[in-house]
A and B are shown apart, each in its own frame.
Chain A
């Protein structure tokens, strides 16, 4: 499969989860695991162009597919606008949910480039954050969509 633009090949046990493969075999530890019931979304990556929870996909199911993780989001050292907006709007605190939250936000904006606040909130309902109370995340997504909110502290 392709992961963050690089072709990779390994033999894995069928039971290996995609997230395990990314972390343990490829060292892509930017993608993390937060739960075991697919509620938290911390492990969200893109598989063949759409967001999925990588704890809820077997690595063998992604065979031949294209995976993008948080580590492949910036291009040539330039942050993706969503990454930039998360920093600018203080959309993270401990940062553990952040990779999944950013990857889902990117997918959301690809499907709906100018979402309303309600659409952002619903679009991120599969990603849990315990620190921020979500408000600054919502603002970051809005800002990244070009619907500038302006940061008010």
Chain B
């Protein structure tokens, strides 16, 4: 028997800034990226991709490639037939959604530039690429549907056989749903005696641009076919492979080893995975495919890409009375795994933290001849937050009210929680007043407003603007019944298993699949506290369907709030199983056994046993209660009862050089309320990183196509990710209003920074030059757009499309032998 003093460390783990368990390997290069995997006899794939956005394939000559050294085979869709399977859309947002068939490799027509038309298998990656250059494909170019608005008018069809580009129309109407009034009536009334603000915002196309290019290895040589893939969703991937290839699910093992970032970009089932799977099975050999960055940018799914038309009705004093949202969302050439579900995830969030009495959301999804789109960090909620936060500031400007005051006038007060919104969600907790008050103080709001006034009056070359985002989001995807009501193809639960090992160590199996989030650390902290074991004694296992057989993976800020709750429930079961053993060994009745800090004790006595001692006793099973199963191991599957609703106040001060249009961030403050924090160090990392992705949408990133449908920003030379020299220290802090929808009182944090920051940043740029007649700048706010907006050209207009800097393109160069000779 032990006493409490024997425990090495009784300080609570939850709330500690533990250094991550994951890091030792990652900082020494001892990693397991998919592309690191080498198997005996492994073959390599290279893809032949269409250079055209829309074209008929009139012939493919593979003979020269087939004859090349060390080439094992060259395959087209005709060669593979049905064995290549088909890619699924898991979320048809309407019953009559128009969904083109998506084969991994195009058969007779390509519908975006980058689509695969042939695949080469060779003994080395270099030889596969060499042979891919020898495949001769004849195309007959077709007109391409590229512009979203024109595509929505069906001028040119992305898939002629479908007869339309319009995939689905999805509506939420508060009057119809019984959650609010009639929005048209609210707008009509405001036109008469109130204020109506109408704006159209552009959500540019983005690329998730995870740092690890996608890679897949398939080994068909065992009884199960094993696939390693750089994916966020090993479980969904296994399900989809089984569902579309005819291979039994039980014969497929999917492993997501170390995965180098995802941000939604690896929440996909991909043509490349399907082809690797198909060819490994066909050839009976391990096969690897690793994409280049250029391939990744053109073929991995893109994000956002919407036109958002917002109509906001208010009374003259700023009280909002109605909001109508009309979205056009670009799906790209196929309906991806989540597809039209992404904008629908925003449907419940445009009303945000405000008490709109009437609300309507309309979304038309549209097919075009561009790369497919799907989730990118935030998925639907950044779009909604951007729209509402921008237009709230527009309303404030229109009626001459301070934008903070306007928000305060309309937001849900802390004493009004739980609050059922006009979109029908029940926000459990929140305190917008507290987060805003703290942010304003940290920011020095009044001083910065005074400086802004001084600069305006002095006509300074450099003007100052302040942007505001008082955001909320719904995360922790998702209650299964809600997903069911939205016609999503799966549930939203998560699974966890806790195994008590004989040596006192604890193995935790989670169905969430980390790719940088630090699950191993945070989950260890939770288990250490719940079971009263040492942090170091907990091992977290994940990302392998043979180890974690049940799971729905990682996205939508769900791992902690859904996966963590499953873990809590599993640990509770372990404790309940251990109690009768403790009672038996301590010769007490079960009712008298108490569990605290890792120790089972008899109420009112100093007798007790540590949980490790119970585990050991159960392992030997020499002396257990009659009929007891000798195991403490427990599994729990948790289906959330509600989303949870992190919120926060983000403030951005921006200097705008009116001579060049260049912007320079002066200060960024955010105070987020994400409930109870398991590990503040990890949370700070999620917030800082999330902020930069949201800021990057506002200022730098855009996937641009030329008039032929070629992705112009097709490398990191032109798709501009910010560097350390472009970013700064963002001042972050928290208020804490625990969620009441889960035991730990936590809320999701993975997407909050990204969702919140974009409108604060664009808002600050607009605010700096509003007095020069500017009320919108299209994202990203490039210096050219800002400068042109100041010159009176509206939103600055689109960048000059159709041209990338030609640094690596020597085609136009002269013939001097040293051209291209290295900088």
The answer on direct contact between A and B (beta carbons under 8 Å) is yes
Residues on A close to B: CB < 8 A?
13, 15, 23, 28-37, 39-40, 42, 69-71, 73-74, 79, 83, 86-88, 90, 92-99, 102, 117, 120-122, 124-138, 151, 153
Do A93 and B715 touch across chains, with their CB atoms under 8 A apart?
no
State whether the Cβ of B20 lies closer than 8 Å to any Cβ in chain A.
yes
In the assembled complex, the Cα of A88 lies from the Cα of B434 at a distance in Å of: 31
State whether the Cβ of B516 lies closer than 8 Å to any Cβ in chain A.
yes
State whether the Cβ of B685 lies closer than 8 Å to any Cβ in chain A.
yes
In the assembled complex, the Cα of A90 lies from the Cα of B27 at a distance in Å of: 11
In the assembled complex, the Cα of A102 lies from the Cα of B259 at a distance in Å of: 19
Residues from chain A with Cβ under 8 Å of B292 in the complex: 36
Give the distance to chain A from B754, nearest Cβ to Cβ, in Å: 10
State whether the Cβ of B386 lies closer than 8 Å to any Cβ in chain A.
no
State whether the Cβ of B680 lies closer than 8 Å to any Cβ in chain A.
yes
Give the distance to chain A from B695, nearest Cβ to Cβ, in Å: 9
Residues from chain B with Cβ under 8 Å of A34 in the complex: 211-213, 293
The one of B24, B26, B261, B715 that contacts A36, using a Cβ cutoff of 8 Å: B715
List which B719-741 residues lie within 8 A (CB) of chain A: 721, 723-725, 727-730
Do B716 and A90 touch across chains, with their CB atoms under 8 A apart?
no
Which one, B28-36, B173-181, B184-192, B541-549, is touching chain A?
A: B28-36
In the assembled complex, the Cα of A77 lies from the Cα of B516 at a distance in Å of: 24
Residues from chain B with Cβ under 8 Å of A92 in the complex: 23, 26-27
Which one, B142-150, B327-335, B584-592, B686-694, is touching chain A?
A: B686-694
List which B361-415 residues lie within 8 A (CB) of chain A: none
Do B724 and A121 touch across chains, with their CB atoms under 8 A apart?
yes
Known: A130-B689, A131-B261. 19 other contacts (CB 8 A): A13-B126, A32-B33, A34-B211, A37-B294, A37-B808, A39-B716, A79-B27, A86-B27, A87-B27, A90-B681, A90-B684, A94-B516, A95-B27, A117-B729, A124-B725, A130-B209, A131-B516, A133-B753, A136-B688
Q: Which applies to chain A's interface (DSSP): helix, strand, loop or mixed?
A: loop
Residues from chain B with Cβ under 8 Å of A97 in the complex: 211
State whether the Cβ of B348 lies closer than 8 Å to any Cβ in chain A.
no
Residues from chain A with Cβ under 8 Å of B31 in the complex: 29-30, 32, 95
The one of A35, A74, A99, A135 that contacts B727, using a Cβ cutoff of 8 Å: A135
Do A127 and B28 touch across chains, with their CB atoms under 8 A apart?
no
Chain A residue with Cβ nearest B29 = A30
Residues from chain A with Cβ under 8 Å of B683 in the complex: 153
The one of B19, B126, B209, B725 that contacts A125, using a Cβ cutoff of 8 Å: B725
The one of B261, B691, B725 that contacts A130, using a Cβ cutoff of 8 Å: B261
Do A94 and B212 touch across chains, with their CB atoms under 8 A apart?
yes
Given the contacts A94-B259, A132-B689, A136-B685, A30 and B28 also touching, CB distance less than 8 Å: yes
Given the contacts A34-B212, A133-B688, A88 and B261 also touching, CB distance less than 8 Å: no
Sort A-B residue pairs by CB-CB distance and give the 9 closest, nearest first. A30-B29, A94-B516, A96-B260, A95-B26, A153-B680, A133-B692, A39-B716, A70-B29, A133-B688
9 A–B contact pairs at CB < 8 A?
Answer: A35-B293, A36-B293, A79-B28, A90-B19, A92-B23, A93-B685, A94-B210, A121-B723, A134-B724
The one of B35, B517, B727 that contacts A93, using a Cβ cutoff of 8 Å: B517
Residues from chain A with Cβ under 8 Å of B647 in the complex: none
Do B213 and A33 touch across chains, with their CB atoms under 8 A apart?
yes
In the assembled complex, the Cα of A142 lies from the Cα of B379 at a distance in Å of: 35
In the assembled complex, the Cα of A137 lies from the Cα of B693 at a distance in Å of: 16
State whether the Cβ of B253 lies closer than 8 Å to any Cβ in chain A.
no
State whether the Cβ of B493 lies closer than 8 Å to any Cβ in chain A.
no
Given the contacts A39-B716, A135-B688, A87 and B20 also touching, CB distance less than 8 Å: yes
Do A42 and B211 touch across chains, with their CB atoms under 8 A apart?
yes
Chain B residue with Cβ nearest A100 = B211
Give the distance to chain A from B247, nearest Cβ to Cβ, in Å: 29
Given the contacts A37-B808, A136-B688, A95 and B294 also touching, CB distance less than 8 Å: no
Chain B residue with Cβ nearest A13 = B126
Give the distance to chain B from A150, nearest Cβ to Cβ, in Å: 12
List which B15-65 residues lie within 8 A (CB) of chain A: 17, 19-20, 22-31, 33, 35-36
State whether the Cβ of B202 lies closer than 8 Å to any Cβ in chain A.
no
Given the contacts A130-B721, A134-B723, A137-B724, A35 and B715 also touching, CB distance less than 8 Å: yes
